[in-house]
């Protein structure tokens, strides 16, 4: 029997893994569940991704690509005359006003690094790239790291608690963290 040529199979498997995590969480991720969702033989998932960690790495890389593209657009839109704390509040506001299921999925994959050591470097790469993108715009790597950590923590807290988002809390908190040197988004 001839082997069927299927150049998109690997990507379909990654997309299916993301869909499975979105529907069932990390605990619901299995080669069998992904094979079913991707409509491929079980052996295809293990051929392309020998372990679930390999599959998680691929899924997180894809989700990070989405997140970094959104983050880069935000960085490009930063108004240098506006306090960085205000611009960070805009980022959180826009992110939380968007597709909540996608944000939850991205955090679920990101937090998989807590239990899956193979995924940690991918999560760390994303954070480092966010800092680099923002530091290019602000000229201050320490402030960029503070903004990334603060906004990341606020979004996660909001997702976990469901409390109403308050942009003023972001502005005031981040202004306190950044101090006088972080008043503007660019030097």
CB-count burial class (<10 Å; 0-12, 13-18, 19+) for 71: buried
Asked if 63 and 16 sit in the same domain, the reply is: no
Are residues 92 and 15 part of one domain? no
Task: With a cut of 80, say whether residue 183 has pLDDT above it.
Answer: no
Report d(CA 99, CA 64) in Å as an integer: 15
Query: Are 135 and 82 members of one domain?
Result: yes
**In-domain check, residue 187:** no
- Tokens 């997140």 locate to 67
Q: What is the CATH number of the domain that holds 160?
A: 1.10.357.10
Separation of CA 103 from chain center: 7
Q: Do both 103 and 24 map to the same domain? A: no
Residues 39 and 131 placed together within one structural domain of the fold: no
pLDDT tens-place string over residues 116-161: 999 999 999 999 999 999 999 888 999 899 999 999 988 898 889 9
Instruction: Give the pLDDT of residue 1.
Output: 42
Give the number of other CB atoms < 10 A from CB of residue 7.
6
Structure confidence by residue, pLDDT tens digits, 81-91: 998 888 998 89
At 110, is the pLDDT very low, low, confident or very high (cuts 50, 70, 90)? confident
Question: Rounded to two decimals, what is the model's pTM?
Answer: 0.84
Give the pLDDT band (50/70/90) at residue 165: confident
**58 within 8 A of 29, measured Cβ to Cβ:** no
Q: Which residues contact 94 (CB under 8 A, 6 or more apart)?
A: 74
Token pair listed for 117: 């050591």
Q: Which two tokens stand for residue 168?
A: 């003023």
Please tell me the predicted confidence (pLDDT) of residue 2: 42
Domain span at residue 29 reads 7-50
We report the CATH number of the domain holding residue 15 as: 1.10.10.60
Are 148 and 62 in a shared domain? yes
| Count of helices and strands (H, E) across the chain | 9, 0
pLDDT digits (tens, 9 = 90+) for 4-58: 678 899 999 999 999 999 999 999 999 999 999 999 999 999 999 999 999 999 9
């Amino acid at each position: 029997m001839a082997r069927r040529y299927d150049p998109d199979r690997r990507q379909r498997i990654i997309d299916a893994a993301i869909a499975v995590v979105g529907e069932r969480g990390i605990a619901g991720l299995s080669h069998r569940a992904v094979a079913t969702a991707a409509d491929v033989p079980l052996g295809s998932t293990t051929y392309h991704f020998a372990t679930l960690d390999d599959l998680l790495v691929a899924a997180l890389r894809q989700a990070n690509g989405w997140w970094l593209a959104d983050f880069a657009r935000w960085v490009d839109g930063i108004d240098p005359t506006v306090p960085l704390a205000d611009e960070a509040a805009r980022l959180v506001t826009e992110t939380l006003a968007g597709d909540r299921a996608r944000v939850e999925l991205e955090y679920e994959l990101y937090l998989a690094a807590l239990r899956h050591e193979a995924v940690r470097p991918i999560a760390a790469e994303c954070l480092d790239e966010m800092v680099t993108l923002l530091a290019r715009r602000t000229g201050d790597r320490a402030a960029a790291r503070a903004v990334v950590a603060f906004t990341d923590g606020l979004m996660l807290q909001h997702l976990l608690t469901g409390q109403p988002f308050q942009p003023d809390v972001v502005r005031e908190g981040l202004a306190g963290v950044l101090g006088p040197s972080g008043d503007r988004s660019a030097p």
